[in-house]
Chains A and B, each alone.
Chain A
Amino acid sequence: MTHRHIVARAAVIAALLLVRSTSADVLPDNRADVFWSKYSGGGMDITGYSATARAKVTENLALEANYFIDKVSGASIDVLSQASVIKDERKQKSGTIEYLRDKTTYTASYTSSVERDYISNTASISLSQDMFGDLTTVTLGFANTQNKVGENNGTANDPNVAWLGHALTRAYSGGVSQIITKNFIAGLNLQVITDAGYLANPYRSIRFLDATSAKGYSLGNQVYPETHTSTAVQLQGKYYLPYRAAVTALYRYYTDTWGVVGNTYEIDYTHPIRNRWIFEGRVRYYKQTAATFYSDLFPFAGSQNFTARDQNLAALDNTTVGAKVTYAFWPDGWRFFKRGTVTLDASRIRFNYLDFRNIKYFGLPQYPPGSEPLYQFNANVFQAFVSVYF
């Protein structure tokens, strides 16, 4: 639907490849998942349904297929400014092939995502190598995404999509996972992502001071650079506590050519109870600076070459508190299944924008343009999935 979604998708797919590339000695067990998700926040409701199956054809070759549907409804804060309501659906199909040879796993993946106003295709490859007595795993990955960007000028039920352009995204990934002690494992990931083409979100507008308007401001089109390069580095450690539980800490530093600098901190705690239950809690804090060409209110139309008022490019912070519980209904297997689990996951995210103002107060006489209260909202994210291993 937006470029942000697409680049996020490319990054996620590349990340998924890294996650999937577990130890290169043996391919992971066969597994099938049925997945449901719900996001509610900022006026948006997104429900997702997914089915995934992976199976080893031989000891060295595994295939995986995934189908995902996102159903979006509601009206986000910026869409409200254009008086339209979103109702959209995204269908994503992906296929992955993994091949193991000695201590190296080769992975290739293809993902196709279709929305009414956005079409995206990603091809990914990665290589994962165990070395130094299997204490170290090095992973390299590359993903190439081609996007076709459109805008729905019709209504939710009677769409009229105008195609605005194309965007090309390339993601280069490298990662090292290192066993430090028999209780401690550490990981370092680096990912560089480049974009070229139509990168703006057509549904978001800038606003600028306009004395001829009764509200004191007018709306205009965003103008983005046609290139974007980002670099992210994540360092993480996982420690096995003296009793059977694990704690994870991670830090990520992000910087890009648009001037956004982000810092992420997260701590997770995982606590199993025998073979039946696994409880997990997490706290995450994220903070970023604004892009250099972002402003909530520009002094006049055309005041800069590049102009944006996309809330993702504003200075912001958010805090997530989440909990997850996994229950094994077949802890020791059943028939030919090795294990069966059901998992529930709930997160609450508090978003605070530091220079993005709430449109709810726009045009009110007590709030001259630029003095409206800042925007903030809470989001709830729920996931439920059933997994069987065979």
Chain B
Amino acid sequence: MRSRQIVLSGTVLGALLLSSACSIQPWVKPYERDRLADPIMAWDRDAISAAYLDHIRESREGSRGATGGAGGGCGCN
């Protein structure tokens, strides 16, 4: 019984989240993204250079990964 309640609550919550996600309006309009579209705002302007520096570091450190820019994502070009 309790598990059914949890599933039901999860379904309702998921539906609410989905419906709210669909209704999200972009709060930064496309015509307001000129600064974000400037090349100086790119996560990595030169991907080969960035990858080379990552390679230098990761060959000498114990850490690795998650260094990507996750996409420019400014939606401006």
Q: Which residues of A contact B64 (CB under 8 A)?
A: 7-8, 11, 193, 230, 232, 254
Most buried by A among B21, B46, B58, B75: B75
Contact of B58 among A8, A50, A137, A258 (CB under 8 A): A8
Indicate whether A114 reaches chain B with its CB closer than 8 angstroms: no
A49 → chain B closest CB, angstroms: 11
A363 → chain B closest CB, angstroms: 26
Contact flag A22-B52 (CB < 8 Å), given A133-B25, A264-B63, A316-B61: no
CB <8 Å contact, B63 and A286? yes
B32 → chain A closest CB, angstroms: 4
CB <8 Å contact, B66 and A23? no
CB <8 Å contact, B28 and A182? yes
**CB-CB contacts of A178-198 with B at 8 A, as 1s and 0s?**
110111010111111100000
Contact of B67 among A15, A25, A240 (CB under 8 A): A15
Question: Using a CB-CB cutoff of 8 Å, which residues 30-77 of chain B contact chain A?
Answer: 30, 32-33, 35-36, 38-77
Indicate whether A176 reaches chain B with its CB closer than 8 angstroms: yes
CB <8 Å contact, B61 and A17? no
**CB-CB contacts of B5-29 with A at 8 A, as 1s and 0s?**
0000000000000000100111110
**CB-CB contacts of A27-43 with B at 8 A, as 1s and 0s?**
01000010101010000
Q: Which residues of B contact A188 (CB under 8 A)?
A: 70
Interface residue SS majority, chain A: strand
Q: Which residues of B contact A137 (CB under 8 A)?
A: 70-73, 75
Q: Interface residues of A, CB < 8 Å — how many?
A: 98
Indicate whether A387 reaches chain B with its CB closer than 8 angstroms: yes
4 tightest A-B CB contacts, nearest first: A18-B68, A134-B75, A175-B70, A133-B26
Additional A-B contact list (6), CB under 8 Å, known A132-B26, A236-B69, A254-B66:
A11-B65, A134-B74, A230-B64, A234-B66, A313-B62, A345-B49
On A, residues with C-beta under 8 Å from B are 2, 4-5, 7-9, 11-26, 28, 33, 35, 37, 39, 48, 50, 52, 66, 128, 130, 132-139, 141, 171, 173, 175-179, 181-183, 185, 187-193, 230-234, 236, 238, 240, 244-246, 252, 254, 256, 258, 260, 262, 264, 270, 272, 278, 286, 288, 291, 311-313, 316, 318, 326, 343, 345, 347, 351, 381, 383, 385, 387
